[in-house]
Amino acid sequence: MGKSRDLWVGADLGGTSMMAAVIDVKTGTVLGEAKRRTKRELGAVAVTQRLGKCVQRAIDKAGVKRKDVRGVGVGIPGPVDPAEGRVVRCVNLGITWDGYALQEALERLIDLKVTIDNDVNVGAVGEHRFGAGRGADDLVVMFVGTGIGGGLVLDGRLRTGFRYSAGEVGHMVLMDGGPLCGCGERGHAEALASRSAIERYIREARASESGPIAEGHGEDEASAQMPSGEILAAIEAGDDVVQAAVAQAQRYLGLMVANCVNIIDPEIVVIGGGVLEKMGDAYLEPVRSVARQHFINKDDMDRVRIITAELGDHSGVIGAAVLASQRLLKG
């Protein structure tokens, strides 16, 4: 029975935490997983060592030997050069990662072949192979959290672009001169439709004494941060300010989806992230409505499905393992 499995490790490296999991890429089954804090303040070399230990712990938890694993895929929160195995830039992890040869460093530590890619790209691969995008040839995947990331699957293949930066839907300009984005530019979708944007809308409303969200919150930006569960609870409690803030973000997310559909014409747009995964279709219905108003092709609009992601926290590790199986078997 074990001989029929095709085992790879997928790893998802974030600014706060990391996860590694042993995946049977024939079925998408997670056989064992491990999580650790990233401790990004330690720098690239030390974090790579922690990642290597996390990979080994996942292998141990899966009850398999390292020789049973064929390779490792890693998702990184920033642009990478997968051909060279280097991180181009990673704001979430710090400047020690800029230009860092992660693939080579990790291969030396764990004695397995490694490939790396952007974390949203690997999440897109996961949703395409085993999640909400199963069976689609053309697919756009968006993950909406503190920021917004995107990945493109066209003709059944991940597309990374000429400079490995395809799918950066969060930096689509929706409002020239608009709010400041985390990248330093203004008016990007991330500054208008993310959870950070919702928090800013609430903060601005509170500053103008627009509603009850002010109760129990301080005036500084940090105190205005609201986890997805807290946003959902406020909506369910009928908080007018939070409801209005979410509606604003939904409108801009709908515009972003419409732009993607008008340019790419995918079969499916998959949207994941904390607030969406907690609220599900209730969050997406206004997004669909706005998007369809702006579709240039009004024929058969319902055939373009705008749906929630299915794999949750496992989309990255599953996608990284699948991507590793696709790339490393060629080597």
Q: Are 141 and 309 in contact (CB under 8 A)?
A: yes
Q: What is the pLDDT of residue 113?
A: 98
The CATH architecture assigned to 135-309 reads 2-Layer Sandwich (3.30)
Give the angle 51-100-156 at the CA atoms, nearest 5°.
Answer: 75
| pLDDT tens series, the chain, 331 aa | 445 899 999 999 998 999 999 999 999 999 999 999 999 999 999 999 999 999 999 999 999 999 999 999 999 998 899 999 999 988 889 889 999 999 999 999 999 999 999 999 999 999 999 999 999 999 999 999 888 999 999 999 999 999 888 999 999 999 999 999 988 999 999 999 999 999 999 999 988 864 444 343 434 454 457 888 888 899 999 999 999 999 999 999 999 999 999 999 999 999 998 878 888 888 999 999 999 999 999 999 999 999 999 999 999 999 999 999 999 987 5
Q: What is the pLDDT of residue 129?
A: 97
Three-state DSSP at 150 gives strand
Q: What is the pLDDT of residue 3?
A: 59
- CA–CA distance, 7 with 25 (Å, rounded to integer): 6
Q: What is the pLDDT of residue 206?
A: 84
Q: For the chain, give every residue range classified as CATH 3.30.420.40.
A: 2-125+314-328, 135-309
Q: What is the pLDDT of residue 210?
A: 45
Handedness of CA 260, 265, 266, 267 (dihedral sign): positive
- How is domain 2-125+314-328 classified at the CATH fold level? Nucleotidyltransferase; domain 5 (3.30.420)
Q: Are 123 and 141 in contact (CB under 8 A)?
A: yes
In this prediction the pTM is 0.91
Q: What is the 3-state secondary structure (H, E, C) of 235-281?
A: HHCCCHHHHHHHHHHHHHHHHHHHHHHHHHCCCEEEEECHHHHHHCH
Q: From the centroid of its chain, how far is CA 75?
A: 10
Q: What is the pLDDT of residue 279?
A: 82
- CA–CA distance, 283 with 307 (Å, rounded to integer): 10
Q: What is the pLDDT of residue 290?
A: 98
